[in-house]
Amino acid sequence: MKKISIALIAFLGFSLCLNAQDFQSPELDVNGENELFNRVESHLDLKSANELVYLIDSIHGYEMNTESAWEGTYKIDRTYDEQGNIIGSLEKVWDKDAGAFLTASNTVWIYDSNIQERDYSLKWNAESAAWDSTTFRLYTFDGNRNKIKRIYYPWNTEANKFEALLLTYYKYDTNGALVQDSVLKWDAESSTWNNYLLITYEYTEVGLNAKQLTQKWDLTTSAWINSLIIEYKYDENNLYIEWSLKKWDITSETWIKYLLRTKTNGANGLIEEQLNQMWSVSENAYSSTQHNLYEYDDFGNLIEYIYQKWDNTNSVWKDDSKVYTFFSQHNKTDAEILEMESQIKVFPNPAQNELSVSGIEEPSTISVHDINGKLFFQRNVNSEITTIDVSNIPVGLYFLEIDNKLQKQIVKFVKQ
């Protein structure tokens, strides 16, 4: 459980810290996607002491209001398939005028044989009462299930379609460790992919993160130039205790200190506190800006995260925001999940007129719903291969549900 707790902490703390400091950097968060969180988040990491898998049901965010009371600001509800893969993340934000949580955004994931193929980000349009597309990511994996390619497509409202913007190639060493991200950016004028970012990774002798170097492509010199470097430190038990970020100064050609994060681990190896400090050039020293506190359940699941800001006037830490995370016990162990490689295939995907479903071994009920739950199709099937007419349903993303006496499976497909 330690692994996913650290991942979630890193993601939440990292995001909050950057937002608090108004520091926006494509090197650290390419188009809103935090790479660290996406790489380590896996259903196989969510393993508790009783060997059953725990999954995040929902995440609730709060802010400290002017009356020094916690006030709800957002909540995210997550859904999973039978293999423990996340398939939906619905976010709602609190509207004070309406006195209720209102739908804001949703992300849906599509898998092939338990490997993520693509994901879609959607934003709720209250005026039209419909989902507007915002981004689409397409993934490619090698035979070892390593992600080797990703294409990022933002939605072009004027052209009414997704248009490719960023292309990332991932390179691994002989041990399967990620050693390089190469990011290319699409140039519409020349219709070519051009160098954009290069991220290289170094590891300790025991395989822990040691350094992460980010370089930008310089169009003037046609060469890579340094941009950011992250360095990690560990204690004698190989627990992560320090993370430092430096920015490259082109004029002096030296690394300049920027952000220092130190962590305190408990006896169980889980992080109890985190301190973030920003480098002050004028004072030639680090100054405290953020303090985080963590609380876990009996299985080591991170259930509460409190973010504090430093009050310079009173020289004290003040609560600023917090996150509650709710977990549910999945009814499968990680070994069982690995054995549940879905034999059900849906093709073609995307589909235009007909959708074929193969691998159904038991008498089942097949149904098709849109992302709002509206039923478009339902039929009892008793054959291994079934063809569904989808020519009359609107273009969009749909859930195909296969339900029998043994289990229920949900597969996503796109109608073009």
Query: Are residues 334 and 218 part of one domain?
Result: yes
Are the CB atoms for 243 and 230 separated by under 8 Å?
A: yes
- Domain end, chosen from 339, 355, 382, is at 339
H/E element holding 335? helix 334-339
**What pLDDT, on a 0 to 100 scale, did the predictor assign at position 33?**
36
**What pLDDT, on a 0 to 100 scale, did the predictor assign at position 402?**
80
Q: What is the CATH number of the domain that holds 353?
A: 2.60.40.3080
CA distance 224 to 196: 9
Half-sphere exposure for 41 (CA within 13 Å, toward CB): 16
Query: Are residues 38 and 178 part of one domain?
Result: yes
Q: What is the CATH number of the domain that holds 72?
A: 2.40.128.720
As for how many domains the chain has, the answer is 2
Residues 6 or more apart in contact with residue 132 via CB below 8 angstroms: 122, 123, 124, 125, 155
Output DSSP code: residue 9: H
The tens-digit pLDDT sequence of the chain (416 residues) is: 222 332 333 333 333 333 333 333 333 443 333 333 332 233 333 444 445 567 788 899 999 998 889 999 999 998 887 777 889 999 999 998 888 899 999 999 998 866 788 999 999 999 999 999 999 999 998 877 789 999 999 999 999 999 999 999 999 998 888 999 999 999 999 999 999 999 999 999 888 899 999 999 999 999 999 999 999 999 998 888 999 999 999 999 999 999 999 999 988 788 899 999 999 999 999 999 999 999 987 777 788 999 999 998 899 999 999 999 887 765 554 444 444 334 567 777 778 788 888 777 678 888 888 766 678 888 888 766 788 888 888 777 777 888 776 666 777 777 76
**What pLDDT, on a 0 to 100 scale, did the predictor assign at position 394?**
79
CA distance 201 to 169: 14
Cis amide prior to 348 (ω within 30 degrees): yes
Boundaries of domain holding 157: 2-339
